[in-house]
Chains A and B, each alone.
Chain A
Amino acid sequence: MRYLFILWPVAWLTACSGPEAPDAAVCRDVATRLCQTSACPGVAEQLPLGLDCEATLLERTGCGAEEFTFSSPSRERVLDCRVPLIQVGTTTERPPSCEDAFQFVVDCPDVTAFFRGEAP
């Protein structure tokens, strides 16, 4: 009883989060993280990127538009594949490690293809 009394504020704290981010924001978040690791071995080969990395990815995926929504891959698939990229943190201030980015490319070829501008 005492532990429940102490734990319920903690549980509330951990459940504290804001509104659901739109698909375009999630897509741009992934694009930013991929660009931060575009020079990593294994990533550059799978995602050939130009000089302006983010503009290129936004153009390929179309998620530069605010009304963008995921269809294939789905939003849930993209969020699952994004998990290795947010191991370091949920903000983009700290880039993911090359290992995490490579894991993203290996585990999610369909999402990688989406960011290459190909149909998955």
Chain B
Amino acid sequence: MKRWVASALVLAVGCTPLDMERRTERGPVLRTYLQESQLGERMPFARTEVSWPQLTLRFSTADICRTEQHAEYAEDIITTRSVPGAAGAVSSGGVLTAVGGFLVLGRTLFSNSPDRDGIDREGHYGASSRKVATTWGVVLLSVGVPALVAGIVQLTRSGETKETRKADEMLALREVPCQPQPADGVVDLAGGNGPPPEPRATVNGTLVLSADEARSLSFKGLLLDGSPVLLQDEDLSRLETFRTCASLLAAPVDPEALARQAKTHPDRLRTKRELVRACTTLPGAPAGPLLEAIDSALALGTGIPQEAKPSPPATTPSGTEL
């Protein structure tokens, strides 16, 4: 009997489409953590030190250490199931079941005498009111009960379920050289105009360039035994500043020429002043006399003392290639 009931329910509701909507909502952050790893690929690096009039390049090889910042948070997966028409099935099924049940249970209220007003083609009287009521009651129950059951089952199947799980998200990624070791080799000053300079060998992982050499050599990058050498931003900036200052500070200070330039091209002279001012960041660089001469020339040429409108030092001068 239970098998028959289950089969009837399956037939009644088994093929009913179930609308399912799934959405994901982000919950609170549970924790944040750092994950560190090494790429296992050693690369050549160089650091710069200035002690005017010399630039020291210290070469090393280092691994790349990757630091990832992760956030672990709760994530809610909300599944909403709904069956369109379930409420209508319950409503109509309930009405049909109620009327059908009343007709069947209350059939004794109807007359059991046949309808003698008519005789059908087979010679039978019409059915009694009780028989008609019973028949209609059974018919309405046959339609109403499955609809009611189907609607109830569909309503129980519909609803909302929430599943919570952990999720992970990478917030930041940082890669820095780590575990450096001094490296020796042959350094190529590559990428400049004209014939490349002669390769130079490092001594104890260092290569020293004088201001004169930096001024005369043309190069854009460094190669250590053929591999490109990476410089961090501050080292790259220091190298460019050194090369610029090597040119600016090489010529003797000429107040008259500066005075003429202050009158003819004051903007160029102000740009030059910023470059000379950047040279003061290099230890030992004799930028003071030139800077004072430029300030004097500008004060005479424009009538405005330069200290009245200071500007930040240019650590990365334009027009200097590396």
Please name 11 further chain A to chain B contacts, defined as beta carbons within 8 Å, in addition to the given A18-B127, A20-B123, sorted by A numbering: A17-B124, A17-B127, A18-B115, A18-B124, A18-B125, A18-B128, A20-B125, A79-B123, A83-B121, A89-B118, A92-B118
Find chain B residues with CB under 8 A from A26 CB. Answer: 119, 123
Q: Flag whether B132 is at the interface (Cβ < 8 A).
A: yes
Asked if B120 and A17 make an inter-chain contact with CB atoms under 8 angstroms apart, the answer reads yes
| Segment with Cβ contacts to B, from A8-16, A60-68, A101-109 | A8-16
Nearest CB on B from A75, distance (A): 7
Q: Tell me what chain A mostly uses at the interface: helix, strand, loop, or mixed.
A: helix
Q: Flag whether B83 is at the interface (Cβ < 8 A).
A: no
Nearest CB on B from A17, distance (A): 4
Interface residues of A (CB under 8 A from B): 1-2, 5, 8-10, 12-13, 16-21, 25-26, 29, 75, 79, 82-83, 86, 89-93
Asked if A1 and B11 make an inter-chain contact with CB atoms under 8 angstroms apart, the answer reads yes
Find chain A residues with CB under 8 A from B127 CB. Answer: 16-18
Nearest CB on B from A103, distance (A): 15
B125 partner, pick from A19, A79, A93, beta carbons under 8 A: A19
Q: How far is the CA of A101 from the CA of B298 in the complex (A)?
A: 135
Q: Flag whether B84 is at the interface (Cβ < 8 A).
A: no
A21 partner, pick from B11, B124, B142, B143, beta carbons under 8 A: B124
Q: Which residue, B118, B119, B120, B127, has most C-beta atoms of chain A within 10 A?
A: B119
Q: How far is the CA of A86 from the CA of B122 in the complex (A)?
A: 11
A19 partner, pick from B121, B124, B136, B138, beta carbons under 8 A: B124
Nearest CB on A from B4, distance (A): 13
Query: Which partner residue on chain A sits nearest B128 by CB separation?
Result: A18
| Docked complex: B116-175 residues within 8 A CB-CB of A | 116-128, 131-132, 135-136, 138-139, 142-143
Interface residues of B (CB under 8 A from A): 11, 114-128, 131-132, 135-136, 138-139, 142-143
Q: How far is the CA of A26 from the CA of B115 in the complex (A)?
A: 14
Query: Which partner residue on chain B sits nearest A80 by CB separation?
Result: B121
Known A9-B139, A18-B114, A18-B127; contact A25-B119, beta-carbon cutoff 8 A: yes
Known A1-B11, A13-B135, A16-B132; contact A86-B125, beta-carbon cutoff 8 A: no
The 4 closest A-B pairs by CB, nearest first: A18-B114, A18-B125, A90-B118, A91-B118
Asked if B121 and A79 make an inter-chain contact with CB atoms under 8 angstroms apart, the answer reads yes
Nearest CB on A from B156, distance (A): 23
B119 partner, pick from A2, A10, A12, A90, beta carbons under 8 A: A90
Asked if A21 and B131 make an inter-chain contact with CB atoms under 8 angstroms apart, the answer reads no
Q: Which residue, A16, A18, A29, has most C-beta atoms of chain B within 10 A?
A: A18
Nearest CB on A from B149, distance (A): 14
Query: Which partner residue on chain B sits nearest A93 by CB separation?
Result: B117
Query: Which partner residue on chain A sits nearest B142 by CB separation?
Result: A9
Q: Enumerate 30 A-B pairs (CB-CB under 8 Å) in ascending A order.
A: A1-B11, A2-B11, A8-B142, A9-B135, A9-B142, A10-B139, A12-B135, A13-B136, A17-B124, A18-B114, A18-B115, A18-B125, A18-B127, A19-B124, A19-B125, A20-B123, A20-B125, A21-B124, A21-B125, A25-B116, A25-B125, A26-B123, A79-B121, A82-B121, A89-B118, A90-B120, A90-B126, A92-B117, A92-B118, A93-B117
